[in-house]
C-alpha cells in the first residue's frame, strides 16, 4: 500500500528527527518526539522508532533518564541535510515546535522540588524564573508528601498569582 506524504524512508525520518531536535528548547521524552515527528502522513511509526534508536546508537542523539537530546554531531549532520526536507513539513514542524517549546520553557521556569529534612519532614522548594534569571524562591516545611505534592501542583498551576500575592503582602503597609 503506498504511503502519502513527503517523508517516505528511514533516512528522511532521521533528517526530520535531527531537524526537530536541533530546534527543541530542552530534552524531550519519546512520546513528545513521536508527536513531533509524526507530522507527515508518509511516516511509518515503526521506521520512526528504529530511526530514533539508530540515531542514539550512532551518537547523533543521547538518551538519558528517558529524555532525548541532540549532540554536536547530530546538530552538524542535521544542518547539512535539513535542506532536503520539504518546506511544508518544516512549516508544520515549526507550528508544532512552538507549542512544545512554550511548555518546555514554562516547565524550566516554574519548578517545585521536594527534599527530605534530616530532622524529619520535607522541604518544598518553589522556584520561579524568567529569561533574566531567578524571580522568586520559597522554601516551606511540609508535614507529608501529599501536602508537598498538593502545594507544588498549586504553585505550578498559578506561579504568577502566588508571586504577585507574596509581593502584595510584602509591600502592604502595616496597620
Asked whether the predicted pLDDT for residue 169 surpasses 70, the reply is yes
Nearest Cα to Cα of residue 22 among 66, 65, 85: 85
Asked whether the predicted pLDDT for residue 4 surpasses 80, the reply is no
Phi, psi of 63 (to 5 degrees): -130, 105
Report the percent of the chain where pLDDT is more than 70.
98
Q: What is the pLDDT of residue 108?
A: 87
The model's pTM = 0.74
Q: How confident is the model at residue 35 (pLDDT cuts 50, 70, 90)?
A: very high
Calculate the dihedral angle through the C-alpha atoms of 81, 84, 86, 91, rounding to the nearest 10 degrees.
20
38 is written with which cell numbers?
509524526
Region for 109 from its dihedrals, namely left if φ exceeds 0, alpha if ψ lies in -120 to 50, beta otherwise: alpha
**Containing H/E element for 118?**
none
Q: What is the pLDDT of residue 163?
A: 94
Q: What is the pLDDT of residue 22?
A: 96
Q: How confident is the model at residue 41 (pLDDT cuts 50, 70, 90)?
A: confident
Amino acid at each position: 500500500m503506498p504511503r502519502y506524504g513527503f517523508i517516505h524512508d528511514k533516512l528522511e525520518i532521521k533528517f526530520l528527527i535531527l531537524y526537530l531536535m536541533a530546534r527543541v528548547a530542552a530534552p524531550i521524552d519519546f512520546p513528545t518526539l513521536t508527536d513531533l515527528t509524526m507530522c507527515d502522513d508518509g511516516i511509518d511509526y515503526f521506521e520512526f522508532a528504529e530511526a530514533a534508536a539508530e540515531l542514539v546508537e550512532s551518537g547523533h542523539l543521547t538518551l538519558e533518564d528517558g529524555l532525548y537530546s541532540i549532540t554536536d554531531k547530530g546538530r552538524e549532520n542535521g544542518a547539512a541535510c535539513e535542506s532536503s526536507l520539504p518546506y511544508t513539513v518544516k512549516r508544520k514542524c515549526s507550528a508544532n515546535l512552538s507549542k512544545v517549546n512554550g511548555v518546555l520553557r514554562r516547565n524550566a521556569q516554574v519548578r517545585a522540588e521536594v527534599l527530605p529534612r534530616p530532622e524529619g519532614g520535607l522541604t518544598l522548594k518553589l522556584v520561579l524564573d524568567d529569561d533574566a534569571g531567578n524571580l522568586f524562591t520559597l522554601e516551606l516545611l511540609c508535614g507529608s508528601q501529599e501536602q508537598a505534592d498538593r502545594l507544588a501542583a498549586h504553585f505550578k498551576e498559578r506561579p504568577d498569582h502566588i508571586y504577585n500575592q507574596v509581593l502584595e503582602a510584602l509591600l502592604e503597609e502595616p496597620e
